[in-house]
Every structure is written in structure tokens, then in C-alpha cells.
A and B are shown apart, each in its own frame.
Chain A
């Protein structure tokens, strides 16, 4: 039975053009879109067929149809390939091949009685133009962001890294709706193990559909229970190319404007490419500022709650008086008050993200200013707490990665609750737990907290603060790149005596 079927597909051609049409219409459930036109000349019959919305119809008319309509010409398979000025022509003879390529945007020409069908790739992908990055906006440096089109993304990346070593390994993901993904790395730099791990995880992936790069990230992450993202997903091509140049592995997925970068350290979520474009001292300052603001964002409100609930002694008398005055009319315990306000801020942020931009600003002002003032006047909250909460909300937005910023904002809630129950002991417990948790995490099998632990002195100058360029002669050694040296450090550091 099976053998017979295979035989049938093998001897699919030659066929009458009408027969072919019937077969195609039967195979395609939704055959309305199938455009099937028959050209008849004195000596032969030709059939041209394609899926109307998948192909560039302008191009078909200009090149293919124009040539075919040339009078008194006898076409053969070879003359179709040689004389028509389209460079993607190829022969096909299997029905299945024909069907999949029809979906992928091929145009087919069949000469009645021929053994093969000729196909031309004339794909037409709808895509938007390149735009500025929205979630990871930068002040100076390249502004362009990835788009939803894989071809565009690869094009941008290739253009940024014109290296022969750049590998764009193709891999298909998803069972029911396959999607193309590319593993991108520099062959001469990237660590083999990392590339192999990434390839293995993608190959072993057994899902029906990969919706987006961020979903793929969650499929292949090391730990799915943690709140911290373990791979960096970026929409900035310069960030992606920077990481790949340093020996990391990138993954881009069709229909997703994000590229995944792995392995990643916890600290790289607070690095912005802007740090590189600025002078090293200003860049380092901004990076340290981001670390501090993460700390503030997690700790400030819980500290207030702990101090006001349990440890009045901690606050000097002067400050205690003003805090006491502002809290005098508030009937709620501090933990409830803090949770209420944190929730309000989150609510404003979420509404701001969902609302249309024109309405969004109005709502922001109404929500932030009017409600805030009214809440203080009504005696529901103290204005000192409002200051703290606003600072910690602002601080959480300094993280260049939106995913990390969200994680930090979520972390505040358990911290506030711990501070409200156990006071300062609760805060230290929470911080200790977080540090231990971060120590346990890995990204693509590499420790999350490198280079702090496992400690590597030579990498510190790339992570916590950024040293001047002449100290950056080595790549990130903790990830063991194949090629460790970026440039000769000695040459860069050559010193001269005065007046030489």
C-alpha cells in the first residue's frame, strides 16, 4: 500500500493541466487563494499557479507573464530556466515539495506533458520599516531596533558584523506551525560548549508553537521557577552584535523583534550599550547609579515599613518628629499603607502601558498628582511614604532591561510584607534569600553571578564599573571564549616620558 503511494508520487508528472488544477484544489483546503491561469498557444499548453497573497504580483507580471506571452514561442523546461530573467528558478517533480513551496511563496510554471515543473521564488513579505527602539531607548548611539521580520533582522546584523566568521545557523522550531530561528555566533570567538548547549536545547525543544523570542527564552531557560530572566532579550541590534562579538550566542526567531543573548550575568542586565558610547568615567557613574537604584528600589519602602512599625529607635528624633506628624492622621498600619500605595503605582504604570498614548498622559497626571495629593489630604497615607514610593518606582525603571525592571518591582511586595512582619530581621532574611537564590542560578550552565562568584579579577573591570579602553584588551574571560584577546594591551598602554 505504502509502496504504491510512493510510486504514485514519483510518477506524478506528466499530467494534463486541468488534472493538475484538480489535484491542487483538492490538496488545498482553502483553494480560493490559489491563482491558476492557463496559457494556450498553438503547440503547447502552459499553467502558471501561485498563492496570490504570498507572492510579489507586480514582479510576476513584469517578468514572468510578459515573457510567457511572447507569441509563437515553444517553451521547454530548460528554456524557461535559461531565458526568463529571474534568478531563483529551479526544477521540481514531487507533489509534497510543490505544496510546501507554494506556501513559501514560489510561483510555478508547468508545461503540459513535461516531466518537471519550474518554480521561481517570488516571495513577498509584508514588513514594517525600521523604527527607533521603544522599550530600550538610548540617548546616544544607534537607535534602530529589530523588527518582526527575520530577513530584516538578519540583514541588520550581517551589516553590523561583516565577518566571515559569523555563523547564522538555521533551525526550525515548533511542530504545527514551524518557525525559523537562527543561532548566531562568531566561530572564531564563541565558546563551543555554549553554542552546543544552545543548539541542543533548541533541537530538543518539543512544542507545537514558539510564539515569540521571549517565549522561546522561557522554554530553554535553566530554571523556570525563578523571577529573574536568565537570558537577555534585546531589541537593539548594536547590543546583540556587541554581545556576539564578545563571544556570546544569539538567537533570533521569525516574527519576533527580540534577539536572545546567552549566557548572561546578573550584572549585564544593568549594563546599557550607552555606557560604552560615553566616556568611561561618565559611563561607570551611570552604571553604578543603576546598581544603587536597584538596591533603593528593593529596599527603601521595606526599610520605611520596618522602621515605622518596629524600630522607632533607628530614626533620629528630628526626623522622627516630621515622620510622626505626617503619619498622625493615618489610621492604617504602615505595611497596609505601603502596599496600597505600591499597588497604586503599579496600577498607574500598567494603565499607562495599555492606554493609547494620547489618553495615557492625562491619566498619568490625574492618577499621580491628583490622587496622590488627595490621598494625603484625606489622611489615608503620609506624604513621606509617597516620596519614598515614588523614588523606588522611578529607581526600578533605570534598569535597561524591561524584564529585569519588572522582576525588581515584583520583588518589592514580598520584601514589604517581610518587613511588616519581622521588621529589620525580615529585610535581612529577604536579602540573604535573594543572594543565595542568585548564587544558585545559572545561565546556559554558567553561574549567574560571575565574575563576582566564581570570582575573576580580570573581568571585574567590565562589569561593575567600566575602565578606560586600554584596560579592555581581554574578552569576558569567565565565559572562556576561544579567542581571549581583543587587542594587544601593551601597545595600547605604551607610555612616554615627558617631552619625548
Chain B
């Protein structure tokens, strides 16, 4: 395995698309339940927690880009190989792959549960799993450029849903946010941590970085994407907390979706049905990016062709969807993913950077010695 990835020019993508890749991976099932998790920890000051979380993610992104810049054109797998050698490096890289797979799984089962709660109580999770995986496999088979296209188009095609929030937004009771600034700081931090699962997704940068054509323009779309998803979570949280009382928020599982019940037109009502179905188009970029990440990683590490691993991966996922369909099981999975992801996504980059820098220094030092002799 090479440390640096050689990308054919016809497979590379413009940095501009990073905005859509990262934002559409961040906005997925997480945002549906985010207000509740935030409220549980930080109460009326939840919105401050979001600012803290976004600021922290900016720091993580800064570190990630700095790490990647130390190499010519490497991804996380190459960096691991360079730093830790074959065995430990592969082990760490495999952790990333496993993380992608379990996140993918958590997205799948969460969405299937939402559909079963909101639209079809009787639909078999197997059927839902099949249609989601068909779309996932079909677009992943097209390669990264198609995947980016799906992210881009679906991102644009789903944002009209926000317009349906205008109706509840004008009915907000601002009294729900008072008293302000009363929550102790540790609780705010806990709130920020509770939103970790919502904001997960920017770690895909570690994988797509070698595919970026114009790396000098990388910063703006990356930070903007996190800012955009932060803004959306902020807006939805404010509307949710302002519209519902605290007790109502705590009682509802996917508070955001309940908001869509309040808009109605003369020819259609109960738009939460439409939104939940439309949410499939929010989920699909998640599924295919994670699918691609996992299979691409396996290809990089073990040289298995993606065309085989995609199908090989789909079967256990499907069986998993079928078996794990109880609410408490799904919550358990999400909790585990949350814990696992937190360390890997939010903490690990800070450990990686010093190691990369030390290794680089050491290499330069050794090269200098060689030149002297």
C-alpha cells in the first residue's frame, strides 16, 4: 500500500464539493433528535452548547487539515501506515472502517424505525433495508464522482423542507428561553457532547482529501459546511424549544419531525409524512458516503475490490436491520456508536497531529545526517 494516493485526474473533484460532502454527511438522522438530547443536558441554554460544539469542531478540522498537509497526497490509511507500520497501522485503520460500518448501520436502523413510527407501523424492516441498500449500492458502484453528485443534488433537493418550519417558527414562545445564561458550564459542555452524534461526519475529509483537485481552496468549503450544519441545528433547536415546552420536548423522540405537522395547505396536510419520506433523500448521501468510506478503506488496506466488498457488506447490514428492530436495541447501538465515534472523531486527531509532526522532524533530522556523511 502506498502512503500517498495517486488519483487519476478524471476522478478528482473540485474543493467546492467538499461543502456538500461534509454537510450532507453531518445532516442525517442525528438532527431529528438533536433538540431533545441537547435539552436534556443543557436545558434552556442549549443554543450555547451548539456554539461550543461548532467551535470545537472548527478546531478539530484545523488540526485535521494541518495533519493532512504534512503529506503530499495521503489519506488517513496512508498516514497510519507511515506512522505505525503495517500491523498497528492497519489495526487503527480498521478501527476507522469499523466505525464507518457501524455508523452506517446506526443510520439505517434509526431511519427505518422513524419510518415505522411515523408512516408504516407494519412495514418489514427488511423491505426498508432492501430499498435503502439498493440505492446505496447502486450509487456507490458509480464511484466517488457519482457519490459526490448524489450528495450535491440531494442536498439541494431536500432543503425546501426548511420552508415548512416557517409556520411553527412564527408561533415561537420566546419565554421558553428564559432565564438565559443560568446553566452551569459543565452542563453546557455535556450538551455539546450530546450533539456529537449529530455533528459526526466531517471525518470523511481524512478519506476524500487525496481526491481534491484544488487543495489550496480547501479551507473555505470545509469550514462553511460545518458552519451550515451548525446553523441548521441551531435554527431547528431554537424552533423546537421555542415551540414546545420543556416537558413536551423531553417526551418526544424525534422532536424535529413533530414540528412538520403544523404546516398545512388546502390540498395537503400532515406534511410530516412527506418530510419523513423525503428524509430518505437526506439519508442516502449518508449511506453511500459511509458505504464508500468503508469499502474504499478495505480496498486500500487489504486490496479487496470494492465491487465485491459492497455486496459482501450489504448482506450483514441487511440481516442486522432485520434482527435489530426494537427501540431499546437501536438506542443501544446509537449510544455505542456515539461513544466510539466521539473518541475517534473528536479526540483522536489531536493525538495524531503531534505524532505526525514528530515523525516529520525526525525524518528531516535523519536526512540531514545522511547528507552530512
Contacts and interface: CB of A to CB of B under 8 A. Distances in A.
B146 interface: yes
Contact of B119 (A423, A440, A454): A423
Contact of A436 (B115, B139, B267): B139
Contacts of B221: none
B267 A439 contact: no
A440 B150 CA distance: 10
A425 B270 contact: no
A337 B284 CA distance: 32
Counting chain A CB atoms within 10 Å of each CB, which of B127, B265, B277 scores highest?
A: B277
Contacts of A433: 134-135, 138
Contacts, number: 91
B273 A428 contact: no
B269 interface: yes
A422 B142 contact: no
Interface in B99-131: 115, 119-120, 123, 127-128, 131
B329 interface: no
A313 B152 CA distance: 32
Looking at chain A's contact residues, is the secondary structure mostly helix, strand, loop, or mixed?
helix
Contact of B138 (A314, A436, A452, A453): A436
B127 A422 contact: yes
Contact of B273 (A314, A429, A431): A314
A343 interface: no
Interface string B137-160: 011001000100110111001000
| Chain B contact patch, size range | 35 or more
Contacts of B363: none
| Chain A contact patch, size range | 20 to 34
B142 A440 contact: yes
Contacts of A313: 269-270, 273
A439 B146 CA distance: 6
A436 B146 contact: yes
Given A311-B273, A440-B146, A432 B268 contact: no
A86 to B, nearest CB: 55
B70 interface: no
A121 B8 CA distance: 54
Contacts of B265: 316
Given A316-B268, A439-B149, A453-B149, A425 B142 contact: no
A413 to B, nearest CB: 18
A316 B152 CA distance: 34
B153 A424 contact: no
Interface string B193-210: 000000000000000000
Contact of B278 (A318, A423, A428): A428
A315 interface: yes
Interface string A410-450: 00000000000011110111011101110110000001010
Contacts of B274: 314, 424
Interface in B271-294: 273-274, 277-278, 280-281, 284
B214 interface: no
B266 interface: yes
B149 A449 contact: yes
Contacts of B16: 455
A316 B267 contact: yes
Contacts of B134: 429, 433
B264 interface: yes
B149 A428 contact: no
A319 interface: yes
Contacts of A453: 149, 152-153
B280 A425 contact: yes
A421 to B, nearest CB: 9
B9 to A, nearest CB: 14
B109 to A, nearest CB: 16
Contacts of A439: 139, 142, 146, 149-150, 153
A433 B288 CA distance: 13
Contacts of B281: 428, 431-432
A425 B139 contact: no
B343 to A, nearest CB: 33
A170 B134 CA distance: 45
Contacts of B119: 310-311, 423-425
A425 B115 contact: yes
Contact of A314 (B149, B152, B270): B270
Given A313-B273, A440-B146, A453-B149, A432 B280 contact: yes
B269 A316 contact: yes
Given A428-B280, A432-B284, A316 B146 contact: no
Interface in B2-23: 14, 16
B35 to A, nearest CB: 24
Given A422-B131, A429-B131, A436 B150 contact: yes
A437 B146 CA distance: 10
Contacts of A424: 119, 273-274, 277
Given A315-B268, A422-B131, A429-B135, A435 B150 contact: yes
Given A422-B131, A433-B138, A427 B269 contact: no
Interface in B251-270: 264-270
Interface string A312-353: 011110110000000000000000000000000000000000
A425 B142 CA distance: 23
B120 A435 contact: no
B13 to A, nearest CB: 9
A432 B138 CA distance: 11
B135 A436 contact: yes
Counting chain B CB atoms within 10 Å of each CB, which of A310, A424, A436, A449 scores highest?
A: A436
B3 to A, nearest CB: 29
Nearest to B132: A429
Interface of B: 14, 16, 115, 119-120, 123, 127-128, 131, 134-135, 138-139, 142, 146, 149-150, 152-154, 157, 264-270, 273-274, 277-278, 280-281, 284
Interface of A: 310-311, 313-316, 318-319, 422-425, 427-429, 431-433, 435-437, 439-440, 447, 449, 452-455
Given A314-B273, A425-B123, 14 more contacts: A310-B119, A311-B270, A314-B269, A315-B268, A316-B268, A316-B269, A423-B120, A429-B135, A432-B281, A435-B154, A435-B157, A436-B142, A436-B146, A449-B153
